Amino acid sequence: MAYDYEWFKKTVYDLTKIDLSSYKQNQMKRRIDALIAKNNIKGYDAYVNALKSDTKLFEEFVNYLTINVSEFYRNPDQWVTLDKEIIPELIKRFGRRLKIWSAACSTGDEPYSLVMCLSQHLSLNEINIDATDIDKQVIAKAKTGLYNDKSVKGVPPELKNKYFTKVGTSYQISEDIKSRVRFKEHNLLRDKYPVMQHMIVCRNVLIYFTEEAKEEIFKKFCASLAPGGFLFIGSTEQIITYKEIGFVRRGSFFYQKPE
């Protein structure tokens, strides 16, 4: 048998339900080859056998695959637009109990940013965010809520003072914010999407996927939104076929599902 990358992709899917065919191949293959070399393992077959027998190695592999780079209030100008324009419109349209999904939430920076942003308009007990990611390790980190200085540098000073406590060189987010977010595992390519969402936030993640996979996910996001709901994407992304999918563009990074 040829233990090549095509074989490896199929085997990884059986092990993890992560479909490597949906990621840009050259980029992902380089990352995986580098990880295998770092662990001093020779060949895909030996690496798969190691993944099956070594829990720590398996978790490292999944964490490495799912490319977790995140920070609070990433691209601040977009959060100003969210604060000044999008959230007031959502509240006017849907009321104060908004259904918001932070998809591919990584280490929690984004859903916690959403809670803080919403807290400028709503009381905390009115805010509930559903946050999902494929990687249970980053979900565990998100639930812990401990971040380094680089992660929190974009948080507005008044919110940083109110909702973070310095712990050594790190920052612990308050239970008041943590309690407003529900985390769970979810695979964007495989699992069922929630319905009638008022806003979906998925930022700087889909750049790693193929064009076909991105198109499929954007269609599912559109179907997942309530009429009048918004999709908030990252500064590294754009939806070329947004009209065909069913969106109206409301800014560089905000797309609305028409009523």
pLDDT digits 0-9 by tens, 16-45: 777 788 777 888 898 899 999 999 999 999
80-108 confidence digits (pLDDT tens): 999 999 999 999 999 999 999 999 999 99
* Measured distance CA(80)–CA(73) in Å, rounded: 9
* Measured distance CA(124)–CA(169) in Å, rounded: 27
The set of residues, in sequence order, having a beta carbon less than 8 Å from that of 139 and lying 6+ positions away, is 105, 133, 183, 184, 185
Domains of the chain, by residue range, sit at 5-65, 76-256
**pLDDT over 90 (residue 125):** yes
Q: Which CATH class is domain 76-256?
A: alpha beta
142 burial level (CB within 10 Å; 0-12, 13-18, 19+)? buried
Residue 67's pLDDT is: 56
**pLDDT over 60 (residue 68):** no
